[in-house]
């Protein structure tokens, strides 16, 4: 099955600096890569996603890059703010057949702390 590794497990940055979180996946058939933000006591919230036919996607201060050859993808947050502090999870999924479910395999998470 798919295996997703995520680094670093903890990351502290100064407010205004950039943060980068990296993930690698094992199954070359994976074709969808979402990133979730989870605040304490809440469920994961999708912040950005990328599909395997795209190399980069940006949404305001958040961007994701995908390198299919190396089987890794990264989350970039620029101009970090204290409210960005949370646990971030990457995930990968395979669509086995048209219309079937996307079973997500998650990384182990990164605790991001933005220091004011």
Partner 1 sequence: GAGVSQSPRYKVAKRGQDVALRCDPISGHVSLFWYQQALGQGPEFLTYFQNEAQLDKSGLPSDRFFAERPEGSVSTLKIQRTQQEDSAVYLCASSRTGTDTQYFGPGTRLTVL
Instruction: Confirm or reject binding of residue 108 to partner 1 (CB under 8 A).
Output: yes
Instruction: Confirm or reject binding of residue 44 to partner 1 (CB under 8 A).
Output: yes
Part in contact with partner 1 (CB under 8 A); list of ranges 11-19, 45-53, 66-74, 77-85? 45-53
Nearer to partner 1, 40 or 70 (CB): 40
- Partnered with residue 66 across adjacent β-strands are 73
Query: Could you write out the DSSP letters of every residue in 34-93?
Result: EEEEE-TTS--EEEEEEETT-SEEEETTEEEEEETTTTEEEEEE-S--GGG-EEEEEEEE
Nearer to partner 1, 41 or 116 (CB): 41
**Dist. CA 11–CA 100, nearest whole Å:** 36
**Dist. CA 112–CA 99, nearest whole Å:** 35
Nearer to partner 1, 99 or 116 (CB): 99
Please select the residue that binds partner 1; options are 91, 92, 94, 114, rule is CB under 8 A: 91
Instruction: Confirm or reject binding of residue 89 to partner 1 (CB under 8 A).
Output: yes
Select from 1, 3, 27, 20 the least CA-distant residue to 106: 3
Q: Which residues bind partner 1 (CB under 8 A)?
A: 4, 6, 34, 36, 41-46, 49, 89, 91, 95, 99-109
């Amino acid at each position: 099955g798919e295996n997703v590794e995520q680094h670093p497990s903890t990351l502290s940055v100064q407010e205004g600096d950039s943060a980068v979180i990296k993930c690698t996946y094992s199954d070359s058939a994976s074709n969808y890569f979402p990133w979730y933000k989870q605040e304490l006591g809440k469920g994961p919230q999708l912040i950005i996603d990328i599909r395997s036919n795209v190399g980069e996607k940006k949404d305001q201060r958040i961007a994701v890059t995908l390198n299919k050859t190396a089987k890794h993808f990264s989350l970039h947050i620029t101009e970090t703010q204290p409210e960005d502090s949370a646990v971030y999870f990457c995930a990968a999924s395979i669509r086995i057949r048209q219309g079937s479910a996307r079973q997500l395999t998650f990384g182990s998470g990164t605790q991001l702390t933005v220091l004011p």
